[in-house]
Structure 1
Amino acid sequence: MPQITVDYSDQLKAGFDFDRRAFARDLHTTVVEIAAARPAACKTRFRRTEDVVVGPDIDGHALVHVHIGLLPGRTEEAKARLTEAVLELVRQHVKSLDGTMLHASAEVRELDASYRKFEE
């Protein structure tokens, strides 16, 4: 915990400057500061999505969506503050190189009571 997934469209490969490692580092720092997570517990995986369509346009758009799963116990205000901070990090770390429009979103949710993990 926290479990973080960053879905991003294939357009970010070529048309954007997106240093995923730097983004994850800053994201982990933000999650620790706002959600009181342990630094070593932050895990982020990036998933590239090949096909994205926004409205009637097929080209000219890119997407980033950040999912953050936390154990229960954070206030709604803390979760909202974290979501806003994540969107600011996307603004800082994802820059269009060719004029492609970026659509960014984020959500913080509580992990289900069935969540379990192990480390070896």
Structure 2
Amino acid sequence: MPLITVDYTDRLAGSFDRRGFGLALNRLAVKLLDAKPEKCKTRFRRTGENVVGADAETFALVVVEVGIFPGRSAAAKAALSEAVLAALPEYLGAEAGPVQAAVQVGELDHLAYRSAVLGG
């Protein structure tokens, strides 16, 4: 916990510093959710087709979903969402153009969620 997924428009592939943003997301989760650094997991998924509004060519799209265990306040979730949106521009290249961004912080089913380090 947390389990973070970042979907991003394929046109950002060459300009989006995903590793830097992932590390920033993990640091924000540690700071704002009191998460343990080694428990933060962030993955990126490049999406080929996205439509934002009436003109698909106008906006690139980044959607961040953060799954956390129950118990965090609505204020903590909102603070994380705001911090993620504030951090994102630093990791987008200047050639990204307009980017529509969204963040959703939701709760994981703590009774069903499992995580493990395998091998090695």
Normalised to the residue count of structure 2, the TM-score between the two structures is 0.90
* Number of the residue aligned with 2:101: 104
* Number of the residue aligned with 2:60: 62
* Number of the residue aligned with 1:33: 31
Q: What is the one-letter code of the residue matched to 1:7?
A: D
Q: What is the one-letter code of the residue matched to 2:8?
A: Y
State how 1:68-107 maps to structure 2 within 5 Å: 68-97=66-95, 100-107=97-104
Q: Check if 1:46 corresponds to 2:7.
A: no
Q: How many residues align?
A: 117
**Root-mean-square deviation (Å):** 1.4
Q: Which portions of structure 1, spanning 4 or more consecutive aligned residues, are displaced by more than 4 angstroms? A: none
Task: Give unpaired runs (5+ residues) of structure 2.
Answer: none
SS in 2 for 1:104: strand
Partners of 2:94 and 2:49 lie apart in 1 by 18
Partners of 2:82 and 2:44 lie apart in 1 by 20
Higher strand content, 1 or 2? 1
Normalised to the residue count of structure 1, the TM-score between the two structures is 0.90
Q: Deviations over 1:45-96 (max 9, x none)?
A: 1001101112221312100010000111111100000000010111221234
Check the 8 A contact 1:7/1:46 in 2, yes or no: yes
Partners of 1:103 and 1:87 lie apart in 2 by 10
The Cα shift of 1:30 comes to 0.7
Task: Give unpaired runs (5+ residues) of structure 1.
Answer: none
Alpha-carbon spacing, 1:73–1:41, altered in 2? closer, same or farther (3 Å): same
